[in-house]
Amino acid sequence: MRTSIATVCLSGGLVEKLHACAEAGFDGVEIMDADLVAAFESPEEIRALCARLGLSIDMYQPLRDVEGVDELAFADNLRRAEAKFDVMERLGTDLMLLCSNAGTATVDDESVAARQLGELADRAARRGIRIAYEALAWGRYVNDYRDAWRLVQRADRPNLGVCLDSFHVLSRGHDPSGIEKMDPAKLFFLQLADAPELQLDLLSWSRHHRLFPGEGEFDLVGFLGHTIRAGYTGPLSLEVFNDTFRQTDVNRTAQHALRSLNWLSDRTAAENGWTTDRLDASQDPTGVDFVEIAGEDLSAIEQQLDQLGFAFAGRHRSKAVRLWRAGDARIIVNEQTPRPGARLRGLGLLVGDAEAAARRGQGIGAPSVFRRTSAGEQHLSAVAAPDGIEVYWADAAISRSWQGEFDGGYPAVERASDRPEGDGLRGRIDHINIATPWQHYDEAVLFNTSVLGLDPEAVTELPGPRGLVRSQVMRTADGAVRLAMNLVPPTAPLPARHIAVRVDDALSVARHARARGLRLLPIPSNYYDDLEARFGLDPDFLSELADLGVLYDRDATGAFIHFYAPTIDGVFFEIVQRIDGYDGYGASNAPVRLAAQPLTAAPQG
Ligand SMILES: O=C(O)c1ccc(O)c(O)c1
Ligand SMILES: [Mg+2]
């Protein structure tokens, strides 16, 4: 289907926006009146630019508050309409969006509104213009798509139809299945927007918090399914009012927007057994293959891995890259980069078919990452996530193959294997926590759903020393892969990102780590007084937690024992133990951890 986007989604001036839409690969645009009015280019110049860029102007929105008024006001509304029809002729577009009256309506009478819409449509017909009538969720008398549909039927003009907007339908909790009862010839236009579930008035929710499909909590797949089953064949158009996207890079937002539309149409097709040219079975990850830390000199990281009980598993045969292992947890330490400071750079995911996962990622528009591979080395396909992390895919054979490139021969190998029985750490990656800059956050949510096949858990807010931190975990259903995203607000430095390793006995790991000289993140004794008050823990257990600096949480499903190693530049490690069905992340301990960690900016990218 054709793809389109409302210029209101993007930052900058109209010309800049049009270039970005074309560059991203959209077929068309909806132009908001405010964008044209503020432009120095004439309608003819905008028309010529769109033609040159290969963009159709699918709809123009120049008029509101027309129907449901007294006759005097209506006469003036028709005068305004004629002036805007002139502009549309100059723009070369024939579809006008008309929102239901939210400002000036005084006549609560459907026969009046239908007659006025009919009269407007007749005027438009003389100019070859069609009108798409849209029920705004906050319209004075018309705020339900079924009411708009009834008025359109009642007015009964060939050039009058409806514009459906998923936000207005889903924000009011209206049942979208009624769309399938509508006449497809009257479905003139479709606007798509997602949104988070918020307790907010409809107008503010719509004007500030809309999101691209796949980033919020609305069922856009279900909504689009109804519309296509109804017989709609027009463009799929994005209309997302969002303050972040209005302030950030226009090209990046346009690309991100198209990715969301591709994701939505693929998912809708898959759900309904339709095919699209991009559709490929999604490759849900089955586990974490590795986490990569990069930097110029990572000896401090290696010392900490050694103290935590990781075993050195070899040096790469041709690169300044080393592998550390603790059971199934594999950490790649890459010193090839000339940039100082340790940072979390790569994430390897295990999937059934690595090539299919990479194809799907690239098909959906994720930028691929090039990494030099020498002869005889395993090639890994990768894409760049919006937060700067490189994501690699491997199946079991590929994983074995790249691990075979690490050949040992480093003194620490003996040190690791010399350890007494039970001393070596066995574990797996439990989660990684990626502090995500505010302007990339929504895009990263979409990336994690559409490219990585992860599902969002509910958003939580963690109290930190500088206010609440918005946090969202995205995971596989079985918890084998979990990415925690923490939103970093505009004025805050980027905090360190962390790697959590799951073990069977976190206290034993803490004891051994201390014996090897690791000082854990210091935890105040007030925290342990509070733990005692909350859980009435066994005094010996509590004093060992306090002595080591280990944290504890419990809920109805089980318990969580975890601790943090001190931050090194942009990275730190957490060791976690999950007891029984505990499925959280110790959120109640986050304020203590956040307060204890330094607030310095972490190296990025
Ligand atoms: O908020 C508004 O004014 C507005 C304008 C046009 C739309 O299509 C819409 O959904 C909302
Ligand atoms: Mg709309």
- For 550-567, what is each residue's pLDDT tens digit? 999 999 999 999 999 999
- Mean pLDDT of the chain, nearest integer: 92
The answer to whether residues 503 and 561 belong to one domain is yes
Q: In this structure, is residue 503 part of a structural domain?
A: yes
Q: What atom in ligand 1 is closest to the CA of residue 168?
A: 10
Task: Return the pLDDT at 279.
Answer: 62
Of the three residues 272, 307, 328, the one that is the final residue of a domain is 272
The answer to whether residues 424 and 337 belong to one domain is yes
Q: Give, using CA atoms, the residue closest to atom 1 of ligand 1.
A: 207
Task: Return the pLDDT at 304.
Answer: 97
**Cα four-point dihedral sign 123, 127, 132, 138:** negative
The answer to whether residues 473 and 403 belong to one domain is yes
The answer to whether residues 260 and 293 belong to one domain is no
- For 497-511, what is each residue's pLDDT tens digit? 999 999 999 999 999
- For 376-433, what is each residue's pLDDT tens digit? 788 888 899 988 899 999 999 999 999 999 875 333 444 444 454 445 688 999 999 9
User: Is 191 part of any known ligand binding site?
Assistant: yes
Q: In this structure, is residue 435 part of a structural domain?
A: yes
Task: Return the pLDDT at 357.
Answer: 87
The answer to whether residues 153 and 41 belong to one domain is yes
Q: Give, using CA atoms, the residue closest to atom 6 of ligand 1.
A: 99
Angstrom distance (rounded) from CA 77 to CA 87: 16
* Structural tokens at position 101: 């009256």
Task: Return the pLDDT at 186.
Answer: 98
Residue 234 reports pLDDT greater than 70: yes
% of residues, the chain, pLDDT over 90? 78
Least confident of 7-21, 58-72, 162-176, 350-364: 350-364
Measured at the CA of 157, the angle between CA 153 and CA 160, to 5 degrees, comes to 80
The mean pLDDT value for 23-36 works out to: 97
Task: Return the pLDDT at 10.
Answer: 97
CA of 248 to the centre of ligand 1 (A): 21
Q: Is 228 exposed, middle or buried (0-12, 13-18, 19+ CB in 10 A)?
A: buried
- For 442-471, what is each residue's pLDDT tens digit? 999 999 988 898 998 988 888 887 788 889
Of the three residues 239, 272, 305, the one that is the final residue of a domain is 272
Angstrom distance (rounded) from CA 141 to CA 130: 23
**Cα four-point dihedral sign 542, 543, 547, 548:** negative
What CATH number is attached to the domain comprising 106?
3.20.20.150
Q: In this structure, is residue 477 part of a structural domain?
A: yes
Q: In this structure, is residue 279 part of a structural domain?
A: no
Least confident of 170-179, 386-395, 489-498: 489-498
Residue 515 reports pLDDT greater than 80: yes
How far is residue 543 CA from its own chain's centroid? 42
Measured at the CA of 583, the angle between CA 577 and CA 585, to 5 degrees, comes to 65
> Is residue 100 in contact with ligand 1, taking CB distance under 6 Å?
no
Q: For strands 551-555 and 558-564, give the pairing.
A: antiparallel
The answer to whether residues 211 and 70 belong to one domain is yes
User: Is 574 part of any known ligand binding site?
Assistant: yes
DSSP 537-563: --HHHHHHHHHHT-EEEEETTEEEEEE
CA of 8 to the centre of ligand 1 (A): 9
Q: What atom in ligand 1 is closest to the CA of residue 191?
A: 8
% of residues, the chain, pLDDT over 70? 95
Q: Give, using CA atoms, the residue closest to atom 7 of ligand 1.
A: 99
Of the three residues 247, 272, 297, the one that is the final residue of a domain is 272
CA of 189 to the centre of ligand 2 (A): 10
The crossing angle, in degrees rounded to 10, of helices 525-535 and 539-548 is 150
CA of 239 to the centre of ligand 1 (A): 8
Ligand nearest to the CA of 165: 2
Measured at the CA of 532, the angle between CA 527 and CA 536, to 5 degrees, comes to 155
Residue 278 reports pLDDT greater than 80: no
Surrounding ion ligand 2 within 5 Å at CB are 165, 191, 239
User: Is 134 part of any known ligand binding site?
Assistant: yes
Q: Find the DSSP H helices in 220-322.
A: 220-229, 250-272, 299-308
The total number of residues shown for the chain amounts to 605
User: Is 239 part of any known ligand binding site?
Assistant: yes
The answer to whether residues 354 and 258 belong to one domain is no
> Is residue 206 in contact with ligand 1, taking CB distance under 6 Å?
yes
CA of 493 to the centre of ligand 2 (A): 36
The mean pLDDT value for 142-167 works out to: 98
CA of 136 to the centre of ligand 1 (A): 7
Q: In this structure, is residue 551 part of a structural domain?
A: yes
Least confident of 23-27, 85-89, 285-289, 359-363: 359-363
* Between 600 and 105, residue with greater pLDDT: 105
From 206, 209, 210, 243, give the residue whose CB has the most ligand 1 atoms within 8 Å, as the site to mutate.
Answer: 206
Q: What atom in ligand 1 is closest to the CA of residue 165?
A: 10
The answer to whether residues 466 and 523 belong to one domain is yes
Task: Return the pLDDT at 411.
Answer: 38
Q: In this structure, is residue 278 part of a structural domain?
A: no
Q: Give, using CA atoms, the residue closest to atom 9 of ligand 1.
A: 136
User: Is 431 part of any known ligand binding site?
Assistant: yes
> Is residue 534 in contact with ligand 1, taking CB distance under 6 Å?
no
Ligand nearest to the CA of 192: 2
- Domain ranges, residue 483: 287-600
CA of 55 to the centre of ligand 2 (A): 20
From 8, 63, 210, 239, give the residue whose CB has the most ligand 1 atoms within 8 Å, as the site to mutate.
Answer: 239
CA of 178 to the centre of ligand 2 (A): 18
What CATH number is attached to the domain comprising 562?
3.10.180.10
Ligand nearest to the CA of 139: 1
> Is residue 134 in contact with ligand 1, taking CB distance under 6 Å?
yes
Angstrom distance (rounded) from CA 63 to CA 581: 56
Q: In this predicted complex, what is the ipTM?
A: 0.99
Q: In this structure, is residue 281 part of a structural domain?
A: no
From 7, 96, 136, 170, give the residue whose CB has the most ligand 1 atoms within 8 Å, as the site to mutate.
Answer: 136
Task: Return the pLDDT at 602.
Answer: 59
User: Is 165 part of any known ligand binding site?
Assistant: yes
- For 81-109, what is each residue's pLDDT tens digit? 999 999 999 999 999 999 999 999 999 99
CA of 569 to the centre of ligand 1 (A): 45
Query: For residue 252, what are the CA distances in angstroms to 218, 249, 440, 527?
Result: 23, 5, 10, 43
Task: Return the pLDDT at 5.
Answer: 98
From 241, 242, 243, 246, give the residue whose CB has the most ligand 1 atoms within 8 Å, as the site to mutate.
Answer: 241
The answer to whether residues 214 and 255 belong to one domain is yes
By C-alpha distance, which of 218, 195, 253 is closest to 440? 253
> Is residue 96 in contact with ligand 1, taking CB distance under 6 Å?
no
The mean pLDDT value for 242-269 works out to: 93
- For 285-295, what is each residue's pLDDT tens digit? 999 999 999 99
Task: Return the pLDDT at 381.
Answer: 84
Q: In this structure, is residue 291 part of a structural domain?
A: yes
Q: What atom in ligand 1 is closest to the CA of residue 163?
A: 8
Angstrom distance (rounded) from CA 131 to CA 134: 10
Q: Give the CA-trace dihedral at 16, 18, 19, 24, to 10 degrees.
A: 120
The answer to whether residues 416 and 498 belong to one domain is yes
> Is residue 63 in contact with ligand 1, taking CB distance under 6 Å?
no
Strand (E) or helix (H) holding 330: strand 329-334
The answer to whether residues 370 and 506 belong to one domain is yes
Backbone angles phi, psi at 3, to 5 degrees: -110, 145
Is 572 within 8 Å of 498 (Cβ atoms)? yes
The number of distinct structural domains making up the chain is: 2
Task: Return the pLDDT at 280.
Answer: 60
The answer to whether residues 218 and 83 belong to one domain is yes
From 134, 202, 246, give the residue whose CB has the most ligand 1 atoms within 8 Å, as the site to mutate.
Answer: 134
